[in-house]
A and B are shown apart, each in its own frame.
Chain A
Amino acid sequence: MNCRSEVLEVSVEGRQVDEAMLALLHTILLHRSTGKFHYKKEGTYSIGTVGTQDVDCDFIDFTLVRVSSDELDRVIRKAVAEFKDALGNSGSDGMGQISLEFYQKKKSRWPFSDECIPWEVWSIKVNVVNLANEQERQICREKVGEKLGEKVINIVEVINRHEYLPKMPTQSEVYNVFDTSLKDVQPYLYKITYQITDSLGTSVSTTMRRLIKDTLAL
């Protein structure tokens, strides 16, 4: 519970799914990334620079701004593509949820692996609609664009609030707060998971994990 959660809901047409998801995820990550840290000897550090890039969408009247890091883009695109496939394969009414979770790692003692403690979770609920003709598509294209604009403002508002963020780490702890695997940008540690509503709640593994944890915590 000790984490903020924000929920965004969008309804889009099937082919707009990946662009809409990319738009939202990139917007959030843009605000949750910093330049690379360069630690100095005295325990201080300087922050590298971050570039931005505008991306026009093909199926939506919308231009998204993202961090100009191809690596990051690749990772996100892969996750979104998986989500879209899963959504398509589910074959049902097409409800799904993709969530972007920012977390911190905490070292724990020997028998346990490091804990990942989330501090902010963004859940994007997607509702896929089917459209009959080209005219409706055209309208949808504009509407979704407007909606995404609203969401972006929404996200920025949330991010601008003065709320908890992990404290800036020292050199030895930077891995516990930031994802340092990329070479040109350094987002907070994040995880993207998705869930198709059809598959009845959580997957088996998470249920099992919870079960074991619950019995332990009696």
Chain B
Amino acid sequence: MAHFDTEYQRLEASYSDSPPGEENLLVHVPEGSKSPWHHIENLDLFFQRISFKNGFTCMLLGEIFELVQLVFVVAFTVFLANCVDYDILFANKFVNHTDSSKVTLPDAFLPVDVCSARIRDSVLVIFILIISGVFWLHRLVKFIYNICCYWEIRSFYINALKMSMTDLPYFTWQEVQGRIIEIQKEHQICIHKKELTELDIYHRILRFKNYMVAMVNKSLLPVRFRLPLLGDTVFYTRGLKYNFELIFFWGPGSLFENEWSLKPEYKRGGNRLELADRLSSRILWIGIANLLLCPVILIWQILYAFFSYTEVIKREPGSLGARCWSLYGRFYLRHFNELDHELMSRLSKGYKASSKYMNCFMSPLLTVVAKNVAFFAGSILAVLIALTIYDEDVLAVEHVLSSITLLGICVTVCRSFIPDKHMVFCPEQLLKVILAHIHYMPDHWQGNAHRYETRDEFAQLFQYKAVSNVFILEELLSPVITPFILIFCLRRKSLEIIDFFRNFTVDVVGVGDTCSFAQMDVRQHGHPAWMSAGKTEASIYQQAEDGKTELSLMHFAITNPHWQPPRESTHFISLLKEKVHREANPAFTSTHSLQSDSEPHSLIANLLMGPPSLASLHLGREGSINPVSIGVSEGASALRALSPVSTSLHLRGSYPSARLPRPDHPAVVAGRAMAGSGTDARTISSGSSAWEGQLTSMVLSEYASTEMSIHALYMHEMHKQQSRGEVSRHAWHGQESDESSESVNEDMEAARTFPRSSTFPTTSHQAGAAQQSGSQRRYGGTSDPVSGSFRAQRTPRMPMGGWSEENQMSRHHDPVPEEGSEDELPPHIHKFCKVFHCE
């Protein structure tokens, strides 16, 4: 290699302090890195930690208590097993005390040397102690690590985001996020882009959760089983979830190289069979490891359940009958890009209605039995208590205390089976209210709310606490069942899993590999039956089920009003918002007249509605009023009756305005008023500068949830219209004059014949779906015969859906003032509309 010195040579003089004559020529001022927040290595974790904004002390205490609890459980168990003389406790053996005859607790303890000898002799105890010691040390190291990270986050909050720890609980996530986006401009925490968007932050925080949601949505995970006796069941526990995450995301040899990128070999289609083999053998090993660890986990679960729940059960036995959202439900109902706290607040709002709905289905037989058992148990209990009050010595009689406790539990349990006397059976309406909060439900529930099948399926999402993840049954069974699910069910799906990750992973600049569903791109993953007909280019394999893409998009756009969606999505959002707005707008004008006596109105509304499904169906047929708006209003009015927030919102959002005399159904008015106030107030406030500070953002987020509820109802209603329009077109002819009793039946039939969504598949359909996806992966999705025939089945729906929608619109326009007549509306409404479009 030959070297040639160029003209550009180093000035040797610059070794000295500064080159001669250049002292004042080239002088720079270092910018320095004053904040340590530029260029953070692991932004995923960083944002995740920011998103549990509980304050440092909370986190610290929480972690410390967790560690202490662990020690306590182990130590206490060992103590109970080895150091207590139960004979003394049960008074089988007498202690000879010199001074008093009372037996004290310390009498029952064995002396220390005996105790330690017993512990030392038992191999099992030593073994358990060693294992838990190792586990505890692991937790301790993690604790120290976490605390350091939390400390860093704390100083980030204080120094960079300028939020003090005491105020932190009162900031909304949207505010925090807004500040992070501001910070990025200044410090460049992410180096790829100048500016971060809300979606980037959500993607990073929820990277893996989005994958899980998508996999549940596409029924890829083996969580639904058909058992011989129990029928269709869902089994999804925390243990199982942990294992799934271990396999896919972070365990040794998982599909992901690190937190943000899928291993490159999984992105190429070439050796998918080999990769699937590798994955399936990994699943096998993890399954076996689970099987081996099963006794340890099982013992831990039992102990933990015992210590945490016995007290609760004794104190309020009713909690056994209480329900909660199951883990599966949380995944089924979760939007893409929805943070934990957003999901939980949404589900909690639906809790009341959901438990009411479930209580509608009390079996009368059980009620009769429960009433009588409660009577007998109650009377014995009453006598015992009365006797005790009369003379305390009754308690000293053997088993009196225990029988009082048992009887008390018995009465409470029985009472939970006796329904409220004043309850009315109106499942359809309740389900609407639930839908307004949970946003997702399979198609075949609509119109079938009163059926037991629907109830059972809903129960899968909304389980008894006693059965579900929170305690006892499933969580206890989990360590035993999980390995078998892994080995026998998940392994079979390994090829599909490999394909899923390959097909649905996109590399987003500045974010890394994310699930493509989470992009919420209507064009790529839209479902034609969910209002994205004509916009979507997705094959069946690519469509998200249950309108997840569309609903998620709406949800995200509503919760993050500053987010700039891509162009097609903007179009979709503005179109939908406009439609909902138009439905809501006329009634907005009559808000004023309503607010004085809103309660009676909603009451009348509910009364007049009667069986709501019937009314909407009936009216919809006659074509006098757009059934969509009825559906929405029906839910909204019920919602209004239930939630106090919306009433206040309704008051806030109302403006003195010209009244348009409208011969409308009162319910429609009520509902529209709701919708109108919800959407309008929001648009105004996001536009105006006067509404600022914490209050605004709190209020905003409340509006946002109401607005989303209305959109969700509207979308479901449109979806129903669309699918019904298709299924029953052939059946409807010549029945226009028929009365509702028949048409209800027919509607039910229609709902039954309508292809169900695949997350709640019937058995036959499930087989079909499996077959379909099987062929899909073999041929890459477009050319295979099975999916072709499937398509043929579906495609006619698109034009037909379009037809029914058009029809709908034209019908709808008759009673409502036309665009031209909008001039008569007061001017500020126009302004809102404009603001709306700008958004």
Interface residues of A (CB under 8 A from B): 1-4, 19, 35-36, 38, 40, 43-58, 65, 68, 104, 106-107, 109, 111-112, 115, 117-119, 163-164, 166-171, 173, 183-184, 207, 210-211, 214-218
Contacts and interface: CB of A to CB of B under 8 A. Distances in A.
Contacts of A118: 41
A2 B28 contact: no
Interface residues of B, number: 56
B606 interface: no
A214 to B, nearest CB: 5
A35 B138 CA distance: 47
B40 A2 contact: yes
Interface in B5-36: 5-6, 8-11, 14-15, 17-19, 22-23, 25-33, 36
Given A53-B6, A217-B45, A164 B191 contact: yes
Contact of B258 (A1, A4, A58, A106): A1
A43 B29 contact: yes
Given A48-B14, A68-B10, A168-B28, A163 B191 contact: yes
Contacts of A184: 10
A178 B2 CA distance: 30
A46 B22 contact: yes
Given A2-B42, A45-B30, A54-B4, 9 more contacts: A2-B43, A46-B19, A46-B25, A68-B10, A104-B39, A107-B36, A109-B148, A168-B31, A216-B141
Given A49-B14, A52-B6, A167 B45 contact: no
Contacts of A163: 191-192
A129 B104 CA distance: 87
Give the one of B18, B151, B511 with max A CB within 10 A.
B18
Contacts of A210: 258
A183 B39 CA distance: 28
Interface of B: 1-6, 8-11, 14-15, 17-19, 22-23, 25-33, 36, 38-45, 138, 141-142, 144-145, 148, 151, 188-192, 250-252, 258-261, 511-512
B32 A47 contact: no
Contacts of A169: 30, 32-33
24 contacts: A1-B42, A1-B43, A2-B189, A35-B14, A38-B14, A47-B26, A50-B8, A52-B8, A56-B2, A68-B5, A106-B36, A109-B148, A109-B151, A115-B41, A164-B192, A167-B30, A167-B31, A168-B30, A169-B30, A183-B15, A207-B252, A211-B252, A214-B252, A215-B138
Contact of A56 (B4, B11, B40): B4
Nearest to A216: B145
B1 A167 contact: no
Contacts of B11: 48-49
Contacts of B10: 35, 48-51, 68, 184
Contacts of A36: 14
A43 B250 CA distance: 46
A46 B28 contact: yes
Contact of B192 (A4, A43, A207, A218): A4
Contact of B41 (A2, A167, A173): A2
B1 A44 contact: no
B27 A46 contact: yes
Contacts of A170: 30, 32
Contacts of B40: 2, 117
A164 B39 contact: yes
Contacts of B15: 183
Nearest to B511: A1
Nearest to B31: A167
A106 B39 CA distance: 10
Pairs of residues from A and B, 7 with the lowest C-beta to C-beta distance, nearest first: A1-B260, A164-B191, A51-B10, A48-B14, A51-B9, A54-B4, A170-B32
